[in-house]
Amino acid sequence: MGEAVLSFENNENLKSVVPTAKDDPRVVSHDPDLSQFMSFSRTLLVPMFIWKVSMLYFGLNYSMYPGEGYGYGLVATIFASLSGFAYFLWRNRKAQ
């Protein structure tokens, strides 16, 4: 019995059958450019769409009901959108 285990461990043909990490198709190489792009797009686009929807809401209501305070919401939304974009640029100013 011990000879079979010893024979298996010393057999060079069986060692070559074991896949290595570079041959394994499940191992995905990490692409830093793609991950940075996905991070930037997620950080930029999601808040931008949220602010655009709120701008549309306050803008439409302000145009239909001009004296009911929707203008303040519109101005606040525009200011928040621009300041959020400025913060995004400032936070990623050192990115390559």
Any idea where the domains of the chain sit in the sequence?
2-91
Helix or strand or coil: residue 45? helix
Q: Taking the model in full, what pTM does it have?
A: 0.53
Confidence at 7, pLDDT banded by 50, 70, 90: low
Q: Provide mean pLDDT across the span 27-41.
A: 73
Task: Give the residue-averaged pLDDT of 32-50.
Answer: 79
Q: Are 46 and 55 in contact (CB under 8 A)?
A: no
Asked if the model's pLDDT at residue 86 lies above 80, the reply is yes
% of the chain beyond a pLDDT of 90 = 24
- CB-CB contact of 85 with 48 (8 Å): yes
Closest of 59, 64, 62 to residue 78, by C-alpha: 59
Please tell me the distance from the alpha carbon of residue 53 to that of residue 81, in angstroms, as a whole number: 11
